[in-house]
Amino acid sequence: MQVSITGHHIEVTEAMKQHVEEKIGKLKRHFDHVTDVHVILTVEKLEQKAEATVQISGATLFADDVQDNMYTAIDNMADKLDRQIIKYKEKIQAHRS
C-alpha cells in the first residue's frame, strides 16, 4: 500500500505523518486490496481539513473532514473511509453469492 501525504498551507510534521499512517494502516484489516492512498492536509484560517482518496481494486473512495484540530480531522476522515471500505466489501460479497 502506497501512502502519500501532502500539506497545503501547512508543514507536515513527522508526528502528523505517523498519525496518518497509523490510521490509514487500520484500513487494511478490513480489505487487503488497498493499493494507493493520497492524503491532503489543509489549513484555511481557523479550519483544519483532512481529505483522502483511496484506490482499491475496482473503486476509488474519497473522504474528508473539517475540524478545529488536525488530529481530530484525521481521525474522523479515517473513520469515514473505514465505513466506506466495509460497505464496499459487503457489496462485493453480496454480488458474488
CA distance 63 to 77: 6
Cell readout for 94 is: 453480496
61 pLDDT exceeds 90?
Answer: yes
Entry pTM: 0.91
Instruction: Output the pLDDT for position 29.
Output: 84
62 pLDDT exceeds 80?
Answer: yes
Q: Domain range for residue 23?
A: 2-96
Q: What is the pLDDT of residues 25-58, one digit of tens each?
A: 888 887 778 889 999 999 998 999 999 999 988 8
96 pLDDT exceeds 80?
Answer: no
CATH of the domain at 32: 3.30.160.100
| Beta carbons of 53 and 38 less than 8 angstroms apart | yes
User: For the chain, how many structural domains are there in total?
Assistant: 1
Count Cα neighbours of 94 within 13 Å in the Cβ-side half-sphere: 6
95 pLDDT exceeds 80?
Answer: no
